[in-house]
Amino acid sequence: MEGGCQIVQKILFKYTVFVYTECVHVVLFGAACFTGAMKSWLKRVVPSAP
Reported for 23-30, long-range contacts at CB under 8 A and 24+ positions apart, including other chains, are: none
- At 48 the pLDDT is 66
Cα–Cα distance for residue pair 27/6, rounded to 1 Å: 31
Cα–Cα distance for residue pair 43/12, rounded to 1 Å: 14
* 9 pLDDT more than 80: yes
- 13-32 residue pLDDT tens: 888 777 777 666 555 555 44
Element of type H or E holding 29: none
Rounded to two decimals, the pTM is 0.39
For the chain, the domains span: 15-43
